[in-house]
Amino acid sequence: MVSLGSNCSFGEGSVVTCKEVTSGAAKETTLDDNLIKVFIACNGVTVETESAIGVLTGGPDFAFNGTTYCKTELAPDTAYLGVYSTYEDDVMTYIKLAIGEDDSVEFLE
């Protein structure tokens, strides 16, 4: 897990880039706890990847592969918003989850 806390030293417009160590490995990864996770608690973070990873936030908006996600719009009544990138038939797809403080999970549209 990579954690960017509320007082992180990255400035506005910082980019987190996640790459595969073994080419093609992300296409075989499933939605498990062994995915790389980036936890964002500071503002202005952009995540770019071609890998299967999860991005979690307790509040701040973030950009993930060119799309901005807003917890207050997508999951206002839960502790965290999680967006996971996975591969399905060689195409990267995104799964949005509302995650509760008790680790309950609700799939979002």
How many independent structural domains does the chain possess? 1
Residue 98 domain-assigned (yes or no): yes
Q: CA torsion sign, 64 to 104 to 78 to 108?
A: positive
Residue 49 domain-assigned (yes or no): yes
Residue 25 domain-assigned (yes or no): no
Residue 70 domain-assigned (yes or no): yes
Residue 48 domain-assigned (yes or no): yes
Residue 24 domain-assigned (yes or no): no
Share of the chain above pLDDT 70, in %: 71
Residue 78 domain-assigned (yes or no): yes
pLDDT band at 46 (very low <50, low <70, confident <90, very high): confident
Domain span holding position 56 = 2-7+14-19+33-108
User: Has residue 1 got a pLDDT over 80?
Assistant: no
Residue 28 domain-assigned (yes or no): no
What gap in Å lies between CA 76 and CA 2, rounded to an integer? Answer: 23
**What's the whole-model pTM score?**
0.77
pLDDT at 95: 93
Q: How would you list the strands of the sheet with 67-69, edge to edge?
A: 14-18, 45-49, 62-64, 67-69
